[in-house]
Every structure is written in C-alpha cells, then in structure tokens.
Amino acid sequence: MSERIDGSPDTNEGTPLPSDGPLCEDDVCALPGAEADGPAIAKIEPDLAIPSDDPEAFLEFAEARGWGDGLPLLPPTPARVERALACLPPGIDPDEVLTALPPRGGLVTRRTLAVNAVMAGCPAGTLPVLTTAIRALTRAEVNLRGVNATTHPVAPLLIVHGAVATEQDFNGGLGAFGPGNRANASVGRALRLVMLNVAGARPGGGDASTQGQPSKYTYCVAENQSETPWAPYPESRGLDAPSAVTVHCGENPHNVQDHEVRSAEQTLEMIASTMTTLGSNNAPVSSAEWFVFLGPEHARHLADAGYSREDVQRFLFEHARLPMARFRRAFEIAQYADWEEALGDDDDKPIARDPDRFRILVTGGAGKHSCVVPSWGMTASVTLPLLP
Amino acid sequence: MAETRIYSPEGSVDPNAAPTARVAIGSLAGKRIGALDNGKSGARALLRAMGERLALRTGATFAGVVQKQTAATPCETDLLERLAAEVEVVLTGTAD
C-alpha cells in the first residue's frame, strides 16, 4: 500500500471500476494559452449603441447585460466620459493599464474608471479619488480576491482625507455615512460599480457573500479634519500629503453611543465592548484591523482628558479583551500570535494582537455617537497620497 | 430616433488572468486524484469522501488531501506545484 500525498495510507489504489464511465470527458475544456505579457494600453471604444440617451432605456439595457447595482445609471456616452477625464493633468494616457482586478481579471484604465464614474453620477473632478482607491485596493495586503469572493459581507470603505475632501465637497461631518451628499454617495457607488463590472464581483458569480450588506452599494466618507484634536489620520500612518485616500475592507459600521460621557475611560470602555463580539470575523483573526470613527464630541472629550491617538489605541488594546477560554470555545480554526496561543483559559486575550490594529480617526457631526468598523479579517488597510 | 453610442463599463480582461493549465483529461481511469482543502470546517472530510468515491467509480487513484494555509488567501505556489506534479485532477471547494 502506498502513501497518499497527505501521509495517509492508500486504501483504494487499483480499485476495480464499478461504474466505469468517463465522467469528465467534456467537463474540462482546453483553453487557448494566454499571452506572456499583458498590454500596457487597453483602449476601449464607445462601440455599443442604445436607442436614445433616455435613462429608463439605458437602465433596461444595462440590466440585460448584468451591469450595475440595480439602481438607475447614467449612460456613459463619450461626451460624459471625456468630461470625467478632463480633470486629469496633461500627459496622462487615459488608456494606460493601471492594474487588473480579481477575480475576473478586468483591466483598469482611467477611461474604464471614468465610464463607471459617469454611470454612478460622480461629480467632475472626483476621478482621482476613485483612481487612488482602486490603486490602493490592488496592494497585496488588501487581498482583494478574497475580499471580493468571500461569503463574508465585506465591502471596501473609501475614506477621503485632506484638501481633496474639501475641494470636492466630500462629507466628513453630520451624517457622513448616510445619504445626502453627492460626492460620498456617487464615488462610493462608482467603486462598487468597478467591483461589479470590472472585477466581476457579482452576487452568485465572483461575489459569494451570503447576505451581502448595504455598504456594498456605496461606502465612502471623509475624515473630519477640522474637528480632529490630533494629527490627520494619514500623518499617523507616516504619510505627509495634502490629500490622501484610505481603503479599509470591512463590515458596516457598528454604532457606539455614549450620551453621558462621564469619563474618557467610560467612553473607551463602551467602544471596547462593541469590539468584543465573537460573531465578528476579526475575533478568530487577531491580525485584523478595527477602524474606530470617533464622533467629534467623543474625540474632543478624549483629547480634553489628555488622551492622544496612541493612548486611545493602547487603551483599546488593553481593554477590548475576552477570556481565552471563550475564544477557544468559539473557534477551532483561528489565527493568533504564538503568545496568544500560549495564554491560559482564564487569561484575557485582546481582540487584536497589538495597539496598531486599532485605527483612530474622526468623522461625523454633533452628537454623542461613534462607530467601529471591523475588517473582514485577512485584509489590511492601505492609505495612499492622491494620485491622478 | 438617433441612437446613442456608449462605452461598456466592463473594459477588457487581462489575458494572463485566464487559466492556462486546464487541459482535457479524458477518462479518469488510471489517473491520480488529489484534493485541496480550502481550510473551511468539514472540507477535509467532504473532499476525502468525494475523492475516494470518485476513484472507486472511475478506476482512478485517490492520492489524498492537502490543505492551503488559510481559507482567506490564495493557495501557496509550492503547494500548487506539488499537486501539479503528483496528480492529474484536483478536487477543491469554494466558500463555506
């Protein structure tokens, strides 16, 4: 008896053929070989015709092709696409291939992004935000193939920082995660359209998300820099740029309300308690990040009590904990650091393995609310300077 | 009514993203079947049962199950190369 590739004894080698038909004769077809190198330029043409520029007719046209998110779309005519591209500096080739998006392997050019931006209703001038977000999403640490394909409801959250947030009217203030602001709504939506149309992350196709989540329609906010008591978030990541974009692939926001704000520690305890939930995919993956969006009043309250951003991170690391026994009971499959694995059942284990996994920034307006956005687990956020 | 020209939002596809190693394998008789555990609960048991049953029905040999490092990341290249060297057919699963 020979040994199998997994080391187990082989018990059926040479087994007779009880139903000896060729099961797979035509199941797997030979495919033509791929070219050695992808093209540096991928020019697309407006080679589709619709009867008119009527939005209803276009919606039916798009629906028949599986394009879009189910909501009304603006027809991407050459004139509209050119207007979207007009914000680019001279010398930029709109057909240059920037990257390819998994799982479909769709090629990204600025023109393709502009087409999707037009369909989503993006204001002129916002294309670089979308372009930078897509560049960030293709960094290896994001694990975009997993993000797009998983059964988890994860969606990329696009966070806009600095001058471009002000110049392009992104909302980092009251209701920033909600409706009513065109830049937030449409640029977040354009990112999702790119995932659907270019990356092929369509429900039941490239996207296996069991339930989906509302933020798979649009998920974009700005950092409220004017009401942040600390340095801008990109600076905390070592980035000195007038404008920047962060992508964080996560769940919908989980609200944290603390109306009494009796002490900084109580507010932070409430945030920590929102994080210590075993149902989160971050619970079995301690390398995962938690984005904490402090409302400005909570942030000011913490800063007035002497807390720096790093102090907040450290507090959450030290207090967002559960007994190791609860993690062990909940998960047979988990990814913890060696020192976490060595903890006793009665020891408290942090929900994330070091303080830097807790990312702190300010978004929102008046009121005593903050929120946390757990990630999908096997993904890391990326912050890039704004790129054309 | 004048027609309107538009772009497709799908763009074009990276030719290198298409699978290149898939070939017609014909009958499974005499072939070696392996299985790649995607790391999800129950995957190993299910794949082993499927592989052994498939081998019984077709006259193939079931070569066993190997597991990639985590469910959430692509399979390691060296593991794929090992599978490619040792078996002609790989069973695996997606999602949960």
Mean pLDDT to the nearest integer, A184-211: 97
B88 belongs to a structural domain: no
Chain B hits for A44, CB-CB cut-off 8 Å, are 7-8, 11-12
The distance of B70 to chain A (nearest Cα, Å) reads: 9
A377 belongs to a structural domain: yes
CB atoms < 10 A from the CB of A245, how many? 30
A167 belongs to a structural domain: yes
| pLDDT (0 to 100) of residue A145 | 94
Q: Are strands A382-385 and B32-37 parallel, antiparallel or unpaired?
A: unpaired
Mean pLDDT to the nearest integer, B53-81: 93
Per-residue pLDDT band at B19 (split at 50, 70, 90): low
The distance of B77 to chain A (nearest Cα, Å) reads: 15
Q: How far is CA A264 from CA A61, A138, A270, A315, B91, in A?
A: 54, 38, 10, 10, 54
B49 belongs to a structural domain: yes
| pLDDT (0 to 100) of residue A21 | 29
Mean pLDDT to the nearest integer, A159-171: 98
A127 belongs to a structural domain: no
Chain A hits for B61, CB-CB cut-off 8 Å, are 10, 12-15
A361 belongs to a structural domain: yes
A20 belongs to a structural domain: no
| pLDDT (0 to 100) of residue A292 | 98
CB atoms < 10 A from the CB of B85, how many? 8
A32 belongs to a structural domain: no
B58 belongs to a structural domain: yes
Instruction: For A345-359, write each residue's pLDDT tens digit.
Output: 999 999 999 999 999
**8 Å CB contact between A360 and A294:** yes
Of all residues in chain A, the percent with pLDDT exceeding 70 is 90
Average pLDDT, chain A: 91
Q: Determine if residue A179 is left, alpha or beta; phi over 0 gives left, psi from -120 to 50 gives alpha, anything else beta.
A: beta
Cross-strand pairs, A266: none
Q: Which one, of A105, A165, A104, lies nearest residue A132 by Cα?
A: A165
A24-38, A162-176, A212-226: segment of lowest average pLDDT: A24-38
B20 belongs to a structural domain: no
Chain A hits for B43, CB-CB cut-off 8 Å, are none
| pLDDT (0 to 100) of residue A10 | 52
d(CA A148, CA A206): 7
| pLDDT (0 to 100) of residue A9 | 56
Global ipTM: 0.86
Per-residue pLDDT band at A14 (split at 50, 70, 90): very low
B4 belongs to a structural domain: no
Q: Which domain holds residue B59?
A: 28-69
Q: Please tell me whether residue A32 adopts helix, strand or coil conformation.
A: coil
Inter-chain residue contact B73 with A67, CB threshold 8 Å:
no
* Nearest-Cα residue of chain B relative to residue A81: B7
Answer yes or no: is pLDDT of B16 > 70. yes
Q: How far is CA B58 from CA A86, A310, B23, B32, B65, in A?
A: 61, 62, 19, 11, 18
Q: Which one, of B22, B75, B28, B21, lies nearest residue B54 by Cα?
A: B28
Per-residue pLDDT band at B20 (split at 50, 70, 90): low
Chain A hits for B17, CB-CB cut-off 8 Å, are 34, 100, 102, 104-105
Answer yes or no: is pLDDT of B23 > 90. no
Q: Which domain holds residue A280?
A: 140-385
B55 belongs to a structural domain: yes
Q: Are strands A220-222 and A155-162 parallel, antiparallel or unpaired?
A: parallel
Q: Which of A5, A11, A147, A202 is the best mutation test for B, with the most CBs of B within 10 A?
A: A5
| pLDDT (0 to 100) of residue A32 | 28
CA A13 to chain centroid, in Å, comes to 47
B48 belongs to a structural domain: yes
A213 belongs to a structural domain: yes
**8 Å CB contact between A9 and B64:** no
* Nearest-Cα residue of chain A relative to residue B51: A12
Chain A hits for B70, CB-CB cut-off 8 Å, are 335, 378
Domain count within chain A: 1
d(CA A5, CA B88): 13
A318 belongs to a structural domain: yes
Domain count within chain B: 1
Residue A236, amino acid: S
Out of B14, B19, B20, closest to residue A38 by CB: B14
* Nearest-Cα residue of chain B relative to residue A21: B58
Instruction: For A281-320, write each residue's pLDDT tens digit.
Output: 999 999 999 999 999 999 999 999 999 999 999 999 999 9
B76 belongs to a structural domain: no
Per-residue pLDDT band at A2 (split at 50, 70, 90): very low
